[in-house]
A and B are shown apart, each in its own frame.
Chain A
């Protein structure tokens, strides 16, 4: 089972993270997003950033999680290769406490590819199926 994959979308990219838990699927979806931007195996996980977001559903929580990480490539100039996530239910839905491990972007060394602009609601899908948990969405590139 591949931990993440891409599904066809004519204009943009549909990313799908797969895991044995919803947390793992969220981490793989994040890896799928950063793999669009750089070569993941060239990123050294030397610095950690923390992400704390909440949403009323798991789908919207996925958008919040990926949005927070994508913003970091401009705010802190960081790209990430390793992620950790805890998801708990809250009064209003779900809360995610997460972390991303990576380093400052070096476009040449990291073999910069596409810039991911944002996370859409198209194809947005978090569920448990035969393959395990799936966390999927279309990102604008």
Chain B
């Protein structure tokens, strides 16, 4: 029998899934009609992995507050949907490994430069080559920073600050990284020796899959005030870095998935799917996981910080600009679990927010944002595809009320990697990008096919849905000039 889920349209791009069966709260999906039709079709076709079922399964978890949320880039993950957001009561709630995933604090950092598109036309090829040489990427790549066990522990505790103190970047960078680049509560004692050993050579590496480094141009400004505050002007060149916590984060995820599976049984927690393995927030397992996640998150901040340093050197060498003139706009993660204060049922309270493939998107006035951004809220960095566009958006009051201040993280996949590799040929993708003036340098031809622009949803539709839902607002659109892939 086909599963049945009721979906009520309650806004232009907002849908309500009433709590039925074992759902403790309803589901709320911010998406356009096309995405909703796809979610329904996945159910009707009996697809083993579908995001609508995952939204409802998350709604069954103990201690979940208000609703199980999905944002416009929603697609199936494991356990949690990607584009999923869920908040939990600190006393009765749980922490879920699948709500963070294996790539802890995977995220995007955007840097701005004093260069214009015109000023890099003649050196674009050289710049692409320099970046490709300077930024370690792809399977088996190694970072230039070699660390001892003690130094790895310091990375886990101090995050981006540790590498800035070692000369990789500017003190100013830290102000424009979420949480100052240093998540609180990190305890290296909660991270396995294997996780640390796997990381020795990986700080400052990009990785593979959907990770990238792009040189982009600010193509259009939608919100002059916010763009001005973020230091973004039409025609200027920016750089976006998408990567995460590398092998250390992956191993933390793997280690704790197993530990949480035991905890689910130990605490007799009712979960709808094995991949939703969890533990009470206030349990030894829950607290240890949160301390380990903070370590993984700090590792990701440090990783993006080292790559920032390498990017500055590349630009200085090719474009002749001072390294310090390349400045951090913002750095934000999209696989996280965080203790935050939100207004729930009219009262401010602390909740534990999971964002899987979703960013924090705090609107105006929140003290978590950098002081200079506080009047408009911090930027949301939305990675598009290598052939279309990326966006910088910002949070809203509506998003604070309806979505726990959360934002979209990207276009969201539409095709599986297998289907994309069958449909596209890497060299054809490279050639079609070249026709658009985009230089692609990649370590894997198959990887190019799997990451072809057509494998993703239309970023314009995703941004439009987030805007129509009122949870995020566009600030600028970025068009790629150079793409570096693992």
Q: Do A and B bind each other?
A: yes
Residues of chain A touching chain B, judged by Cβ–Cβ distance below 8 Å, are 6, 8-13, 37-38, 60, 63-64, 67, 71, 73-75, 77, 105-107, 111-115, 117-124, 138, 140-141
Whether the Cβ atoms of A124 and B274 lie closer than 8 Å is: yes
| Size bracket, chain B contacts | 35 or more
Q: What residues on B are CB-neighbors of A60 within 8 Å? A: 258, 261
* Complex interface residues of chain B between 67 and 102 (CB less than 8 A to chain A): 75-79, 82, 98, 101-102
12 new A-B contacts, CB < 8 A, other than A73-B139, A107-B140, A120-B102, are A10-B75, A10-B413, A73-B140, A75-B194, A112-B139, A112-B443, A113-B444, A114-B208, A114-B417, A117-B253, A121-B79, A122-B275
Q: Say which residue of B75, B194, B254 sits within 8 Å of A118 (CB atoms).
A: B254
Q: Say which residue of A75, A118, A123 sits within 8 Å of B102 (CB atoms).
A: A118
Which residue of chain A lies nearest to B251 when distances are taken between CB atoms in the complex?
A71
Interface centre among A63, A121, A141 (most CB of B within 10 A): A121
Residues of chain B touching chain A, judged by Cβ–Cβ distance below 8 Å, are 48-49, 75-79, 82, 98, 101-103, 138-141, 194, 197-199, 201-202, 207-209, 247, 250-251, 253-254, 257-258, 261, 273-275, 277, 413-419, 443-444, 446-447, 450, 486
Whether the Cβ atoms of B102 and A140 lie closer than 8 Å is: yes
Output the least CB separation between B46 and chain A (Å): 13
User: Can you give 11 A-B contacts (C-beta < 8 A)?
Assistant: A10-B416, A11-B413, A12-B78, A74-B198, A74-B247, A105-B139, A113-B208, A114-B139, A118-B257, A121-B257, A122-B78
Q: What residues on B are CB-neighbors of A105 within 8 Å? A: 139-140
Whether the Cβ atoms of A8 and B198 lie closer than 8 Å is: no
**Contact count A vs B, C-beta below 8 Å:** 126
Q: Say which residue of A37, A67, A111, A113 sits within 8 Å of B254 (CB atoms).
A: A67
Whether the Cβ atoms of B76 and A121 lie closer than 8 Å is: no
Q: Say which residue of A8, A37, A75, A117 sits within 8 Å of B250 (CB atoms).
A: A117
A11 to B194, CA, bound (A): 26
Interface centre among B79, B198, B250, B253 (most CB of A within 10 A): B250
Which residue of chain A lies nearest to B417 when distances are taken between CB atoms in the complex?
A13
Whether the Cβ atoms of B209 and A115 lie closer than 8 Å is: yes
Output the least CB separation between B292 and chain A (Å): 14
A118 to B209, CA, bound (A): 13
A113 to B207, CA, bound (A): 11
Q: What residues on B are CB-neighbors of A64 within 8 Å? A: 258
Which residue of chain A lies nearest to B249 when distances are taken between CB atoms in the complex?
A117
Output the least CB separation between A108 and chain B (Å): 9
